[in-house]
Structure 1
Amino acid sequence: MGIKVLVVDDSSFFRRRVSEIVTKDPDLEVIGTAVNGAEAVKLAAELKPQVITMDIEMPVMDGITAVREIMAKTPTPILMFSSLTHDGAKATLDALEAGALDFLPKRFEDIATNKDDAIVLLQQRIKALGRRRLYKPIARSSAPSSSSTKAKLTTGVSSSPRSVRDTTNLRGSALVRASGKKYKLLLIGTSTGGPVALQKILTKLPANYPHPILLIQHMPAAFTPAFASRLNGLCQIEVKEAQSGDQLKPGTAYLAPGGMQMMLERGGAHGRLKVLAGSADMNYKPSVDITFASASKIAGRDTLAVVLTGMGADGREGARMLKSAGATIWAQDEASCVVYGMPQAVTAAGLSTQSIGLEDMADSILRESGNG
């Protein structure tokens, strides 16, 4: 039997299209369809699918509300379909905050230029999510308290659990003991599951975090401005979408723009960013490999690089260059990953010195950076 999938969308055409794509893969099986969020909640409990594909805008009950209810009652991996618009980005981030694990553009031509590639990618995403076992929700941790206005900007954030994976009994790591090494730069690369993971880590960093931070998250161009804005409102550090010419500053995180490549070059006290379109044949825009590789030439051994949850192996070759330059490489552990692809690639290549659970990652970074 294949991975059991529930398809949720108010459009009969889209339900049929997604169902046809899913059933083309012998490892996948559509066990039901729903026309709105309320029906999805009911069928999730009755049919117990291993993955749910979910639309956002639906009558009776919208997709975000449905995600919250499913995560509270019958936790199930959920893949959201979203429009590549500013409103679509905000809604998708709300859905991820509510507990959805991944998202794809609703227009298949926005997934990949080639139709067959888009179909394969959708099937791969569903299979990756279907292999993950989920647990009952854990209480979300709040952002660090602060008297500053910035730390209080948490409006619009769901009060539902931030993660559907209870890693309390799965943690294979403890806080990393500080090595005593001095750093000048923190790099974090991630993909599937990254938005929630980044939020969990960055909200724990103090405003006086001593180094600049470069963030590379696989994400469409329409999403990165909204994601940077959301993180900036939640975090004590500054978070912004990177622009060419940005002079790096301590306590500031720079998110690589979707559809572009972010590179570090010499300039100023801490380096300067160059943002460009990059090669058309690159699989990822932004690419963790490209940012990591550029940092290896500028910051070298003074870099702490972290590879978080995500499909594929983006980041491995960049991490290899960083390692050769003397940098420290860490990877998220398997138990706390939504998809153990990118961290596994780095770990299997012998590049990472630590595999750290998501719950411990921020505190470990702070200790290693001299803030713990």
Structure 2
Amino acid sequence: MAVKVLVVDDSSFFRRRVSEIINGDPRLEVIDCAVNGKEAVEKAAKLKPDVITMDIEMPVMDGITAVREIMRTNPTPILMFSSLTHDGAKATLDALDAGALDFLPKKFEDIARNRDEAVGLLQQRVSEIARKRSFMRRPAVTSTPVTSSTSTATSPSSIARPASTRPLAGSTPNTAPVARSASTGGRFKATGKRYQLTAIGTSTGGPVALQKVLSALPANFPMPILLIQHMPSTFTAAFAQRLNGLCEISVKEAQDGEPLKAGTAYLAPGGMQMMIDGRPGSTRVKIIDGGDRMNYKPCVDVTFGSAANVYGDKVLSMVLTGMGADGRDGARMLKQQGSTVWAQDEDSCVVYGMPQAVAKAGISTEDLPLDRIAERILVELNLV
């Protein structure tokens, strides 16, 4: 049965263009269109589409408000279309906060070298997020928070700043299985390893996942954090600024030549590659041109490989939700050096591509639900 898609945009030209592309894939079918957010909410309730594509700026009701209302009444995977501007980036991040799962630029030429590539990318994104529709519509399950083996009173949520961190509509209930190798009776145990760097790679679904994890880390986090998120260059500065306002740690877009400091997360700039130079205790960020040979700019493999070369067995790394297999080769290099690699589990991923590649290759030692990754980090580093 074809994936049913509702296309929402106030431009008749764009509705027609998107509909033609989606209907060009036999796995997909546009069942209707809406011209504003209010109509989208109504048709989402009536037609129960499997996926919705949504514009941000529309009359009557904007896309962000529509996403929030749809997620409240009829949770549905939503793909946003955004302009690649600073304001467009902020609005897109608001839409992801509201519950949208992914986004694409409205100008397809900004993300593809030719029309065929753009068509395939849109079709692939719709197909991928459609896989989350049944999970999003499960009834919410309330579970008792699980404490760590070193503390019975402290959890990640008590360390984060709940007043400034908004609920994440796309977050997953804490119902996934416990990590496969590091907990007993639901309680995590530290492995006793020593670390000097944390590195996290992610793509589709990553902005929400990173916000969930980083907002639960304390200001005295004892090492620098490298963040590699597949994201356009116009988005990374706005995303880093948003995370910085929501987290106790400092978060910034990485700049070439700056030293790595404990308690600071460095987000790789879009369109570039982030590496590190030096030796443990005296390392600097190295930002280089993305080049044409790499599919991803920034690329998780590049940063992870650089971390493996400099820090050896002293890296705590994670591969979170995302499409494709970026991070697998870099994670393999880290593991060969003796560093730790974890992967997000399938149920809590928006797209189980990157973590699956790492898990299937036997590289990750633990598969963790998103809601427990921060807790697992704190236990591993003896911070609780």
Structure 2 counterparts to residues 1-372 of structure 1, below 5 A: 1-132=1-132, 133=134, 134-135=136-137, 154=164, 159=166, 161-173=167-179, 174=186, 176-266=188-278, 269-372=281-384
Letter in 2 for 1:162: L
CA contact (8 A) 1:307 1:342 kept: yes
**Which deviates the most, 339-348 or 175-184?**
175-184
- Compute the displacement of 1:269 (Å): 2.2
Q: Deviations over 1:68-105 (max 9, x none)?
A: 00000000000000000000000000000000000010
CA–CA distance in 2 between the matches of 1:95 and 1:142?
25
CA contact (8 A) 1:152 1:233 kept: no
Letter in 2 for 1:358: L
CA–CA distance in 2 between the matches of 1:94 and 1:143?
22
CA contact (8 A) 1:333 1:355 kept: yes
Letter in 2 for 1:102: D
- Compute the displacement of 1:246 (Å): 1.2
Give structure 2 stretches of 5+ with no counterpart: 143-154, 180-185
CA contact (8 A) 1:137 1:165 kept: no
CA contact (8 A) 1:184 1:270 kept: no
CA–CA distance in 1 between the matches of 2:383 and 2:277?
26
* Residues 1:233 and 1:153: Cα distance change in structure 2 (over 3 Å): farther
CA–CA distance in 1 between the matches of 2:383 and 2:201?
21
Q: Deviations over 1:314-346 (max 9, x none)?
A: 000000111111111000001111110000000
TM-score by length of 1: 0.93
- Compute the displacement of 1:278 (Å): 3.0
CA–CA distance in 2 between the matches of 1:164 and 1:114?
32
CA contact (8 A) 1:153 1:234 kept: no
- Compute the displacement of 1:268 (Å): 7.5
- Compute the displacement of 1:305 (Å): 0.6
CA contact (8 A) 1:171 1:357 kept: yes
CA–CA distance in 1 between the matches of 2:157 and 2:237?
21
SS across alignment from 1:93: helix
CA–CA distance in 2 between the matches of 1:59 and 1:287?
38
SS across alignment from 1:334: coil
CA contact (8 A) 1:305 1:328 kept: yes
- Compute the displacement of 1:349 (Å): 0.2
CA–CA distance in 1 between the matches of 2:16 and 2:168?
31
SS across alignment from 1:266: strand
Letter in 1 for 2:83: S
SS across alignment from 1:103: strand
Q: Deviations over 1:224-265 (max 9, x none)?
A: 000000000110000000001110011000000000000011
CA contact (8 A) 2:271 2:290 kept: no
CA–CA distance in 2 between the matches of 1:153 and 1:177?
29
CA contact (8 A) 1:241 1:256 kept: yes
**Which deviates the most, 122-131 or 172-181?**
172-181
CA–CA distance in 1 between the matches of 2:336 and 2:280?
25
Give structure 1 stretches of 5+ with no counterpart: none
* Residues 1:165 and 1:144: Cα distance change in structure 2 (over 3 Å): closer
CA contact (8 A) 1:67 1:95 kept: yes
Q: Which runs of 4+ in 1 moved over 6 A?
A: none
**Which deviates the most, 6-15 or 262-271?**
262-271
- Compute the displacement of 1:113 (Å): 1.6
CA contact (8 A) 2:274 2:288 kept: yes
Letter in 2 for 1:113: R
* Residues 1:117 and 1:99: Cα distance change in structure 2 (over 3 Å): same
* Residues 1:242 and 1:288: Cα distance change in structure 2 (over 3 Å): same
* Residues 1:277 and 1:10: Cα distance change in structure 2 (over 3 Å): same
Q: Deviations over 1:54-75 (max 9, x none)?
A: 0000000000000000000000
SS across alignment from 2:53: strand
- Compute the displacement of 1:168 (Å): 3.2
SS across alignment from 2:258: coil
CA–CA distance in 1 between the matches of 2:340 and 2:170?
30
CA contact (8 A) 2:280 2:311 kept: no
Letter in 2 for 1:163: A
Letter in 1 for 2:257: G
* Residues 1:72 and 1:26: Cα distance change in structure 2 (over 3 Å): same
